[in-house]
Structure 1
Amino acid sequence: MITLHLLRHAKSDWDGGEPDHDRPLAPRGERAASAMAVYCRQQGIAPDFILCSSARRTLETLAILRGGLPEGAKVETTREIYEVGAGQLVARLKTIPVRTRIALVVGHNPGMEDTVRLLTGDGVGVKFPTCGLATLESASGWAALGPRKAELRRFVTPKDLV
């Protein structure tokens, strides 16, 4: 059994005029990421492997979230999952190291939302607000991930934590 946590980055700031890839978190996003870090600690979420988009807002979200995660997870930062669709994201998930039991991906929408829809086969799926966290489980290994190969076990948003 593998567990996949998909976290959309926290709310970013649109006012600085930076290119999209370089936008920082907004104060609201920092608060949401802090609340999600507390949630992760309380729930015992402990990924072995973390895959994070190279965008500034995802890196800042992960930096705050790390306060709620145990140390020791291997972290890979890549532009390869910046604003990609579900097919590309699932293709990347298939390359997660085979010994990984629990992975966390910090990325973007619509890729996160569409990935949940693809992996679960749920035509409706979940709407991913910023800093939303979906937890999926699959009896297949990473290399076998694909349509209808996972079940959504939990979906939490910052509003749920207030």
Structure 2
Amino acid sequence: MSVAESRRIVLFRHAKADWPQVTDHERPLAERGRKDAAEAGLRLADTAIPFDLALCSTSTRTRETWKLAVQGFEHRPKTVYEERVYEASPGELIAVLNETPDDVRNAVLIGHNPGIQGLADILGGASEGDARDRMSRRGFPAAAFAVLSFTGPWKSLEPGVATLVDYWAPSE
């Protein structure tokens, strides 16, 4: 694969978590979160993006979100559980993505706010259709995702180089 080919990155916020008496890292999904994670997975499958890689935070709620979402996929991508995604800033998330091997064309990053929303905001220098308007109106609620495209190697991913091509959030 040429590094000049178009790549897609989906930034996927974990679904709604419960608040039991556990550490933040160990919080599970709430009932609504389980429903929304499965619906988000179907919506991701509808994009027909052939994901090569999923980078997922190690938190319980992100792992549960991904496990439910990927059930709707025809092809399950390789999944890497990455500790650095938990509580990461947009800059830290870019650093993780910059390490992605160039044979990966399409990746999904399952993480947390405010990092995921911040990353969607700063990567997308341009947008298609009404994707940015929809994202601006809704914010980045639990189980939302943004689809961005860019050209070049993963190490060139930086603020403003991508195009926001789609955005989805569960109904309220």
TM surpasses 0.5: yes
RMSD: 1.8
When residues 32 and 138 of structure 1 are mapped into structure 2, their CA distance, relative to the original with a 3 A threshold, is same
What is the distance in 2 between the residues matched to 1:148 and 1:41? Answer: 26
Map 1:111-130 → 2, pairs under 5 A: 111-121=115-125, 126=136, 127-130=139-142
- After the TM superposition, list the runs of 4 or more consecutive aligned residues in structure 1 that deviate by more than 4 angstroms: none
The secondary structure found in structure 1 opposite 2:158 is coil
Q: Is 1:5–2:17 an aligned residue pair?
A: no
Out of 23, 27, 31, the position equivalent to 1:27 is 31
Out of 58, 61, 67, the position equivalent to 2:65 is 61
What is residue 74 of structure 1 aligned with on the other side?
A: 78
Contact 1:94 1:142 (8 Å CA) reproduced: yes
Q: Is 1:144–2:156 an aligned residue pair?
A: yes
The secondary structure found in structure 1 opposite 2:54 is strand
TM-score (norm 2): 0.87
Contact 2:70 2:76 (8 Å CA) reproduced: no
Q: Could you report, residue by residue, the CA deviation over 1:61-88 in whole angstroms, capped at 9, with x for unpaired residues?
A: 0000111123341110011110110000
What is residue 44 of structure 1 aligned with on the other side?
A: 48
Q: CA deviation at 1:97?
A: 1.2
Counterpart residue type for residue 67 of structure 1: Q
Identity of aligned pairs, percent? 34
Contact 1:140 1:149 (8 Å CA) reproduced: no
Contact 2:123 2:160 (8 Å CA) reproduced: yes
Q: CA deviation at 1:45?
A: 3.2
Q: Could you report, residue by residue, the CA deviation over 1:112-135 in whole angstroms, capped at 9, with x for unpaired residues?
A: 01111221247x974210000100
What is the distance in 2 between the residues matched to 1:29 and 1:72? Answer: 21
What is the distance in 1 between the residues matched to 2:45 and 2:161? Answer: 27
Q: Greater shift after overlay, 51-60 or 110-119?
A: 110-119
What is the distance in 2 between the residues matched to 1:87 and 1:100? Answer: 20
Q: CA deviation at 1:153?
A: 0.3
Q: CA deviation at 1:39?
A: 1.5
How many pairs were matched up?
A: 159
What is the distance in 2 between the residues matched to 1:84 and 1:58? Answer: 13
Q: CA deviation at 1:141?
A: 1.9
